[in-house]
Chain A
Amino acid sequence: MVTSHRVTSDKYAELTALFRAGLAGDTVNYNRFLQAITPIMRRAAGKKLPPADAEDALQEILISIHKARHTYDGERPIMPWLLAIAKFRINDSLRKAYAGSRRECVNIDELAESLVGVTESHDGNESIEEILKDVPEREQRILTMMHVEGYTAKETGKYLGMKESAVKVAAHRAVKKIREAFGS
């Protein structure tokens, strides 16, 4: 238990006290503070991002909290401060993910050989319907909209009446299923 510098009505008073102690140079309590906020931040990131990206975002959030620690004076509730940084970094991760997915392109020349192979092979996987046959109908629609028709996750979500994050999670799961089906 850390001795609080100031009595506060904040229900996260313990967290605030740990942080304040950390800011005063107490590395043990600062470590405890970071450990304590990690599950909260992981949950916040997990709500918006697929699991693989959520862990990266969590680390970005922790680094950002550390970098911005001089802007917290312990005089106000800590959670809005923490969550503002978390939201900022999660949105950053989402932006990067979108930008990355838009930039991803393959030179058609590099595919020339394999494309010939695809058209000549008769392993029953030529059509997109064949690939998607084991994927649930809703996920099929999401994959088709996002990867064939070129809609963004946001647009797909709007069309299907789903949250953007839910669309991304569903797409991620569908791709995983397809990968498993192909044994890669």
Chain B
Amino acid sequence: MKDTNTLIAELSQDVPKKSTWQRAPMKFGAKLVAVLAVYGAAVQYFLGLRPDLSMQFTRPWFDFEIFLLLTLALSSVIAAVIAMYPDAYQKPGWLKLPYAIFITLAVLVISQLGMPLDARMVMPESGAHAMECALCIGSVAMLPSALLFGILRQGATVRPMQAGAFAVLASSAIGCLTLRLSEANDSLMHLASWHYLPTLIFASAGALIGKWLLKW
């Protein structure tokens, strides 16, 4: 290692080569959300809507689930953007929000397992597709994950695992949301096993990818 004073002199001379990144995270996050919303709409157009969607929206639990998926996607995008700053833009609360929403979602699904079935819920026959849902969520999540990782690499995160998890969680939430609006299947076991558990696994994989990809 060279002398610290020499290092400081060298770094001082390098200043004009890199312009300051005057990026307000909330504005940038909002722009990113807009881009991802367009992507989500395109995916939804491709997947189509379930025929009984308007009836499903009369079920409060379904509404709440959709609301949680929307907020999960939104909060994860914002949390990923915040995580790009070493000091989390001094808004650490945003980094906890996706976890809180995901836990609420899990509690919502688990608590419904013990409730009597609503006649409006669609229960497919056993042996209906399962793994395909996880694969669909994963496929939908790939492009936005790549975009978010690309953006995250421009920052200087000091929490690469968390940032990676948020990026994939946001993308997977888009996959879950679009699939939930297109697939006529309200089996809670199916949702837990093939929608939300894979989302958790993808987010964990995102954390590992983040550790490797977001080094600086």
Q: What residues of chain A have their CB less than 8 Å away from a CB belonging to chain B? A: 22-28, 30-31, 34-35, 38, 55-56, 58-59, 62-64, 66-73, 76-77, 80-81, 84-85, 87-88
Contact, CB under 8 Å: B20 / A70: yes
Summed over the interface, the residue pairs from A and B with CB atoms below 8 Å come to a total of 87
Bound-state CA distance A54–B20 (Å) is 29
A64 CA to B87 CA, complexed, in Å: 13
Instruction: Establish whether residues B158 and A84, one from each chain, have CB atoms under 8 Å apart when the complex forms.
Output: yes
Measured CA separation A88–B156 after assembly (Å): 11
Interface size on B, residues (CB 8 A): 30
Contact with A along B89-132 (1 / 0, CB 8 A): 11000000000000000000000000000000000000000000
A51 smallest CB distance to B (angstroms): 13
Q: Which A residues touch B158, using CB under 8 A?
A: 84-85, 87-88
Chain B positions within 8 Å of A, measured between CB atoms, are 1-2, 4, 7-9, 11-16, 18-24, 84-90, 155-156, 158, 216
Q: B20–A23 contact, CB under 8 A?
A: yes
Taking a contact as CB atoms under 8 Å apart, the answer to whether A58 and B15 are in contact is: no
Out of A58, A73, A87, which one reaches B22, CB within 8 Å?
A73
- B85 contacts across to A, CB distance below 8 A: 71, 81
Q: Is the CB of A80 within 8 A of B90?
A: yes
Q: Whole-angstrom distance between the alpha carbons of A26 and B18 in the complex?
A: 13
Q: Is A81 in contact with B87, judged by CB distance below 8 angstroms?
A: yes
B11 touches A71 (CB 8 A): no
CB neighbours (8 Å) of A58 from chain B are: 4
Q: List 11 A-B contacts (CB under 8 A).
A: A25-B15, A26-B15, A67-B156, A69-B18, A69-B20, A71-B86, A71-B155, A77-B90, A81-B85, A85-B86, A85-B158
Question: DSSP majority for the B interface?
Answer: loop
* Interchain CB contact (< 8 A) of A70 among B7, B8, B18, B24: B18
The 6 closest A-B pairs by CB, nearest first: A68-B156, A70-B21, A31-B12, A88-B158, A84-B86, A81-B87
CB-defined contacts of B14 to chain A, threshold 8 Å: 66
Q: Is the CB of B8 within 8 A of A38?
A: yes
Known: A62-B4, A88-B158. A25 touches B16 (CB 8 A): yes
Contact B86 A81 (CB under 8 A): yes
